[in-house]
Chain A
Amino acid sequence: MANKINIFKQFLVLVSIFAFNTVWAYEPIDKDPNQSEVHEEATAEKHEAGHEEAGKFNAGKTIIEHVADAHDWHLWGHTSIPLPVILKTDKGFDFFLSSKFEHGHASYQGNYNYRLHEGNIVVYDDLTGTVDEEATAKITDFSITKNVAAMLLSMFLMLWMFIKVAKMATKNRGKAPSGLQSWIEPLVVFVRDDVAKPSIGEKRYEKFMPFLLTVFFFIWINNLLGLIPIFPGGANLTGSISVALVLAAFTLVITFVVANKHYWQHVFAMPGVPIPVLIILTPIEILGLFLRPFVLMIRLFANITAGHIIALAFFSLIFIFGEMHAGLGFGVSILSLVFTVFMGALELLVAFLQAYVFTLLSAIYFGAAVDEGHDVHNHVDDHHH
């Protein structure tokens, strides 16, 4: 009983830390875009900001800016870490630091004259103040953006953490786990016993374990880092469609590589189904092959992004009401805080849940791909724990 209360207390502390950080970190950021907006309007007259009134708080724009990728990593106020820009153009590669853009206030002359426009790097004509769409189409952005940097950081964290655990495991061979090891091991066992084994089967699960574990921890750790509003968190990595797409693509490719004759037979010519029905069924099955990872991608992207948007929306409320009346903004801030604490708790759960769901569904697809069909002992539905 005492143990439960203790866990609950720790949980509360964790949630309040998240909430506090959120409050503390979002406020200056939320104000920042307004100021830069004003600045931008003043310096570059024709800046395609027609849909926006100068000085007015735009919640939608602020929220999207926060969940989208960026070319620098914001720390606080006007301080941010510049990140390397790598551009592939038809004239060769361009490398420079994003600080050259001065947050969108300056151009950089490489193979082309680049400028940061609404978060994207475009080819810009300083004289006319217009975007050269034709030249922009020729450049491909391979920059180390905020998301790429966050991804690399999380990967180093994972490498450090799991290799350390592996070393502890080798050292503690045959003994009880300790420290970080005892924290990671139950999760590894969870993925093995509650995800891989029931979905793939006792005999074949082993070769999928590295991928399942890597995906599970990658998604989970990045979901949690995404919940921390300040550096080294704050990047909406798992809520980025590109990252979700790559993860889902890995699942798709692995499924195709390991799939056996039985699986393909069921896709292209379901046994025991008459040919007229097959004409309808086979296209659906083929579509299903790609639909499954597509849904995996959308689910992860939408869940995580939605969580971020809701949290940001609650804070935007403060500024929207604050613009009407300062007292009103203060009143709403209390309400927003309460809701954000609640959302923070929910997001902690969602962070784990989405990692679990992605891993579980991947495992189920692998299980279907390697299922022999006739072997009763290895059937997906036949595994009960």
Chain B
Amino acid sequence: MELVKPSIGLIFWMAVSFSIILFLLKKFAWKPILGMIKEREESIENALAAAEKAKEEMKALQSNNERILAEARAERDTLLKEAREMKDKMIAEAKTTATKEGERLLAIARENIQNEKMAAITELKNQVATLSIEIAEKILKSELSSDEKQKTLVNTLLKDVNLN
């Protein structure tokens, strides 16, 4: 059969030209095409990886921001609390100081009053004594102005001293 009989001429030309085209295509077509495809695949892969990384970084940044915010909030709370405490403390201290001062002043005032009172009493006592002596002197003078009266007094006094 003509169909299944290989022809030497065609085999020869095919072998020669296929070798040539294989060499030419390998050098000038497949190498750059495959290289470029590989390069592009790598660049796409890199880009995807970079995007993923950026996403993660973004997430990290966000959580970081949240953390900083939380920290700031906490710090503000602490500061406020401290301020309040300080205020309370100051008020309390002021109160204590004022009370103490008041008490001290009161004590001093009381002492002064006492002193003044004692002085007044002493003076009053002195004056009463003086007055009493003067009264007694006047009474004695009037009682003992006549003999009669001196006798009556002696009698009265003697009556009282009766059986003692």
Residue among A148, A206, A305 facing the most chain B CB atoms (10 A cut-off): A148
Q: Given A159-B24, A173-B36 in contact, is the A213-B10 Cβ separation under 8 Å?
A: no
Interface of B is mostly: helix
B128 at the interface (CB under 8 A from A): no
A-B interface contact total, Cβ < 8 Å: 126
B83 at the interface (CB under 8 A from A): no
Are B2 and A64 in contact, with the CB atoms below 8 A? yes
Bound Cα distance from A185 to B5, whole angstroms: 37
Q: Mark A361-382, 1 if CB is under 8 A from B, else 0.
A: 0000000000000000000000
Measured CB to CB, the closest approach of chain A to B97, in angstroms, equals 81
- Which residues of B sit under 8 angstroms from A305, Cβ to Cβ? 3
A158 at the interface (CB under 8 A from B): yes
Bound Cα distance from A335 to B6, whole angstroms: 35
B40 at the interface (CB under 8 A from A): yes
B154 at the interface (CB under 8 A from A): no
- Which residues of A sit under 8 angstroms from B43, Cβ to Cβ? 174
Q: Given A64-B3, A214-B21 in contact, is the A166-B28 Cβ separation under 8 Å?
A: yes
- Which residues of A sit under 8 angstroms from B6, Cβ to Cβ? 241-242, 245
Measured CB to CB, the closest approach of chain B to A69, in angstroms, equals 6
B129 at the interface (CB under 8 A from A): no
Bound Cα distance from A69 to B7, whole angstroms: 9
Are B9 and A140 in contact, with the CB atoms below 8 A? yes
A211 at the interface (CB under 8 A from B): yes
Measured CB to CB, the closest approach of chain B to A174, in angstroms, equals 6
Interface residues of A (CB under 8 A from B): 64, 67-69, 86, 118-119, 140-145, 147-148, 151-152, 155, 158-159, 162-163, 165-167, 169-170, 172-174, 184-185, 188-189, 192, 206, 209-211, 213-214, 218, 240-243, 245-247, 249-250, 301, 305
* Sample of 8 further A-B pairs with CB below 8 A, known A206-B34, A250-B22: A148-B9, A162-B33, A166-B30, A173-B36, A188-B37, A211-B22, A214-B21, A243-B10
